Chain A
């Protein structure tokens, strides 16, 4: 059964302010899937960025213990990503960032084609979808499986383009719900449910000039996505990119080789700095590759010419602590305007 959800004060690209929401589907998904410009952050119940007000109607809560519920102030307030209607509803919803045209997110399924273990607890999980998916470099997708409640967000480590194949870089979190399953060879052949693309911290192919990327851990997927797009984009052959990639060690050979391959394509248009937090590295990475010991935000502060970031877009992706430390550095030390900084908030 479907319910009509009317969104108050939100105008989507289609001009509509209503969406049909099937039983059990998050209101956020139905609204975004209809092309409405709704605000959100993680879309998985953690950040609270999709807080709205239920003006009329009734909803069921999908995850009553969602951490993002801490932002709810009144009884009528709900998280759109964790609410599904059980009647027609009228909702006052947050606005999204209407800063760039993006593909409308869709529900689709994909099969795990292969799982390849890399270092530092990372794994490459390669999916194949029945339908081509179009996304912008840096966007993310939500994934769920029947045996685990809720969705998790993962970024493809590939340039945004119409493709049936998605290559995800996932860190296996011990005790986690979904990542141990996805990072296991037992996942091969399993069907996953996905929703996306999502996220505002993406490259803007028609606008972006020089770029800086600070990424850590599995956030390196975002860096790879943007870099691979930059490497094949022929519209701006004068574009320079600089990347500081933080890893625990030099053991993720596949990931490091992806960076080196892009460096070989972009040559002197790309500056590549590896920051190894555990024991540094004695490996020879090749000419022009900078290797530092330390946390990625500290290395970024040491190595980036912060005073010359100017109006460049700076992407930040990675674990919450790393993102917060980098944001602090960019705001307080580099005196950057928040409008230059692109990051998706997952916490």
Chain B
């Protein structure tokens, strides 16, 4: 776990098997939308709503780690949250860890930018 995260920040979001490969799946934690996507043996998490026009990113498309919002085709690198192409704002990416079967996300860092917050399993 990243040292700057406290245990209280980690929330159980779903079972690992709830995430189908490359499916963009939206969850709510304390009424905050987050997006989870499983890419091969890695799980990524980020804010669930587009920072541009509030479109649910679960309506978008994923190609490798390139996430595209369906509304105006803003794109981000899901590993870093860095904007790509038309996008003018970063995406908040969130730390992920997986225990035996569960996927946990640290929602304390629901801010822009960050590192490659993924968990391999």
Which residues of A are in contact with B by a Cβ distance under 8 Å? 47-49, 51, 70-71, 73, 324, 327-328, 331-332, 335, 337-339, 341, 345
Contact = CB atoms under 8 A, between A and B. Distances in A.
B54 A327 contact: no
Contact of A345 (B59, B68, B72): B72
B54 A48 contact: yes
A328 B86 contact: no
Given A73-B54, A331-B61, A338-B73, 13 more contacts: A48-B54, A49-B53, A70-B54, A71-B54, A327-B73, A328-B61, A331-B68, A332-B61, A337-B85, A338-B74, A338-B86, A339-B85, A341-B73
Interface in B28-79: 53-54, 59, 61-63, 68, 70-75
Nearest to A328: B61
Contacts of B75: 338
A324 B75 CA distance: 15
A47 B62 CA distance: 23
**Among B61, B62, B75, B86, which residue has the most Cβ atoms of chain A within 10 A?**
B61
Contacts of A70: 54
Given A335-B63, A338-B75, A338-B86, A328 B54 contact: no
Contacts of B71: 47, 345
Contacts of B73: 327, 331, 338, 341
A69 to B, nearest CB: 11
B46 to A, nearest CB: 18
Contacts of A51: 53
A51 B72 CA distance: 14
A132 to B, nearest CB: 33
B61 A338 contact: no
A339 B61 contact: no
B61 A48 contact: no
A331 B54 contact: no
Contacts of A338: 68, 73-75, 85-86
24 contacts: A47-B71, A49-B53, A51-B53, A70-B54, A324-B59, A324-B70, A327-B61, A327-B70, A327-B73, A328-B61, A328-B70, A331-B63, A331-B73, A332-B61, A332-B62, A332-B68, A337-B85, A338-B68, A338-B73, A338-B85, A339-B85, A339-B86, A345-B71, A345-B72
A47 B71 CA distance: 9
Contacts of B68: 331-332, 338
A95 to B, nearest CB: 10
A335 B59 CA distance: 18
Nearest to A337: B85
Contacts of A331: 61, 63, 68, 73
A327 B62 CA distance: 12
